[in-house]
Amino acid sequence: MGIQTMTFIVVGITFAMYIGIAIWARAGSTKEFYVAGGGINPVANGMATAADWMSAASFISMAGLISFMGYDGSVYLLGWTGGYVLLALCLAPYLRKFGKFTVPDFIGDRYYSQTARTVAVVCAIFVCFTYVAGQMRGVGVVFSRFLEVDITMGVLIGMGIVFFYSVLGGMKGITYTQVAQYCVMIFAYLVPAIFISIIMTGHVIPQFGFGGDLADGSGVSLLQKLDGLSTELGFTEYTSGTKSMIDVFCITAALMVGTAGLPHVIVRFFTVPKVRDARKSAGWALVFIALVYTTAPAIASFARVNMIETINGKEQTGTEYTEAASWIKNWEKTGLIQWEDKNGDGKMFYSGDERNEMKVDRDIMVLANPEIADLPVWVIALVAAGGVAAALSTSAGLLLVISTSVSHDLLKRNLMPQITDKQELFYARLAAAIGIAIAGYLGINPPGFVAQVVAFAFGLAASSFFPAIILGIFHKRMSSKGAVAGMLAGIGFTAAYIIYFKFVNPAASTPDNWFLGISPEGIGTIGMVVNFTVAFIVYKLGEEAPADVQQMVEDIRYPKGAGEAQAH
């Protein structure tokens, strides 16, 4: 059976499962639409949180980044992992006790201001659209190869699936769908990694294979092999970094604190009955996330070695294009791999200097990995299904945040307080539908590769939400004017920096021109500092929060009992 036929079967089965779950778990009220009725089991919620967290950037692009960047790519691994721990331990229990299931709802009530609520809504929508663009791009990459359609059509197919189960089922449908998606994702991620680890190193556990010797009897470790290949072909040594220490720190910090401000992850802690269950689900989510994140460096290294040796040949002298492996020809059809015969010898050659004749998109590495290693067709199809599941699960969570921010925080709590529960649900679904259309456009015309786009979203979240949430919980006297000014200054600075270097003047995006040598991916850390600084200055120049608000913050920090998430 061919790859395309098997992919149709496997992806079709998973889609049917997702849609069936959405129909079974259809939301009938705003509470079910927003927080799944607050009755999800902690283990199931941990699994759903992991699926929500492990987007296309984690599944498709993170290992690709590490594969191409080596040591420098580890900043994404460190930042995203550390950020989840920060969120789960330091913020989630307090927000859960507060009883508001959206970040704008928390900010609006904590800072006793409709202006603060509106600014938070705008920031949430901005962050989520930036983030979801990467997910839709991931869907397009998967479909463009395995369904043999162009990326635009792939994105449109993904839009249709997300529209169905997120608009119909809301958080209830999304939660149970994400449990299924996590099972598909983890199976799709680990099976090829185990296969390739056994073939290349003899180790069943990929993490051991990553640090072990090759099974060819040479006595050379996998990382030594990669270092040798990299230097021989004109790349930077795989285990050495090229980024400055301050840039590494800022990217890692931006990803960490950006995580803690991501609205679609925070809302997960309101889908369980009690605060204690929120903590349990956070712990389970960390276990489920670790299974993927500790495997990513191994997959990256396996794929790198296999790719180089497949293109250049075992002797690194090049391979005749007419004898190219089938995976190269297959991915060439998508435009994500391109060959230019510079010296006219008819051979392909991949290197990091002027000898290079191959353009390879880093986002294909995980998806192409089973083909490169010549694994069975069903494994290749399984990875395709996992990539789609990763992108769709996070897209659904983000679109739900967009819809609730518009219907609940902007309309119900601000502009149209008299609308009924049924009308609010209608506006939520309408906002999600519009959001999907915009997200699809951004997926077709992305501002960068998947993980890079997602990194921008984390930077925007770090510079806008994180300081407002931290100050809202741990600084009871912080005023609404200070919080609003800080959010506007932080996200304004960060967005302007990213837009300038990525869209206005991308040619100038070099370490010499960056502020203190900090890349656009890491500028969210400076935006966060700007937010904190402006917030404190405005707070000091004005009045502090009212006494009743200060008492409310005291109650959050020293709770007497678990509060229930309120829809109104």
Cα–Cα distance measured from residue 138 to residue 363, given in angstroms and rounded to the nearest whole number: 8
- Tokens 């290079």 belong to which residue? 356
| DSSP bridge partners of 337 | 360
- Enumerate residues 6+ apart whose C-beta is below 8 A from 169: 21, 22, 23, 25, 26, 27, 176, 177
Would 490 be classed as within a structural domain? Answer: no
| DSSP bridge partners of 213 | 221
Would 247 be classed as within a structural domain? Answer: yes
| DSSP bridge partners of 338 | 359
Would 98 be classed as within a structural domain? Answer: yes
- Tokens 């220490």 belong to which residue? 245
- 10 Å Cβ neighbour count for 351? 20
Let me know: does 374 contact 306? Beta carbons within 8 Å. Answer: no
- Tokens 């694994």 belong to which residue? 375
> What tens digit of pLDDT does each residue of 108-133 get?
888 888 888 888 887 777 777 777 77
- Enumerate residues 6+ apart whose C-beta is below 8 A from 31: 37, 38, 565, 567
Let me know: does 321 contact 348? Beta carbons within 8 Å. Answer: yes
> What tens digit of pLDDT does each residue of 131-170 get?
777 677 777 777 777 667 777 787 887 777 777 666 655 5
Would 365 be classed as within a structural domain? Answer: no
Look at residue 37 in the predicted model and tell me its pLDDT. 45
Let me know: does 333 contact 231? Beta carbons within 8 Å. Answer: no
Mean pLDDT of the chain: 79
Would you state the structure tokens that stand for residue 325, as one six-digit string? 């492996």
| DSSP bridge partners of 360 | 337
Would 293 be classed as within a structural domain? Answer: yes
Would 167 be classed as within a structural domain? Answer: yes
Look at residue 485 in the predicted model and tell me its pLDDT. 92
Would 428 be classed as within a structural domain? Answer: yes
Number of domains present in the structure of the chain: 1
- 10 Å Cβ neighbour count for 311? 24
Would 460 be classed as within a structural domain? Answer: no
Look at residue 537 in the predicted model and tell me its pLDDT. 94
**Model's pTM, two decimal places?**
0.77
Q: Is residue 393's pLDDT more than 70?
A: no
Look at residue 35 in the predicted model and tell me its pLDDT. 47
Let me know: does 299 contact 206? Beta carbons within 8 Å. Answer: yes
3 state SS of 360? strand
Would you state the structure tokens that stand for residue 281, as one six-digit string? 């689900």
Would you state the structure tokens that stand for residue 494, as one six-digit string? 């960060």
Cα–Cα distance measured from residue 184 to residue 57, given in angstroms and rounded to the nearest whole number: 16
The band of 57, judged by pLDDT with boundaries at 50, 70 and 90, is low
Look at residue 430 in the predicted model and tell me its pLDDT. 81
Q: Is residue 522's pLDDT more than 60?
A: yes
The pLDDT of 447-460, averaged and rounded, is 66
Residue 358 phi, psi (nearest 5): -120, 130
> What tens digit of pLDDT does each residue of 320-379 get?
888 888 888 888 887 778 888 888 888 889 888 888 888 888 778 888 888 888 888 888
The sign of the torsion formed by the CA atoms of 247, 250, 255, 256 equals positive
Let me know: does 502 contact 520? Beta carbons within 8 Å. Answer: yes
Task: Output the DSSP codes for 488-547.
Answer: HHHHHHHHHHHHIIIII-GGG-STTTSGGG--TTTHHHHHHHHHHHHHHHHHHHSPPPPH
Residue 26 phi, psi (nearest 5): -60, 135
Look at residue 370 in the predicted model and tell me its pLDDT. 87
Residue range(s) defining the domain that contains residue 24 = 3-303+375-454
The angle, 0 to 180 degrees and rounded to 10, between the axes of the packed helices 480-499 and 114-146 is 30
Would you state the structure tokens that stand for residue 534, as one six-digit string? 């402006």
Quick one: 438 exposed, middle or buried, by C-beta within 10 A (0-12, 13-18, 19+)?
middle
Cα–Cα distance measured from residue 125 to residue 256, given in angstroms and rounded to the nearest whole number: 20
3 state SS of 358? strand
What is the CATH classification number for the domain harbouring 198?
1.10.4160.10
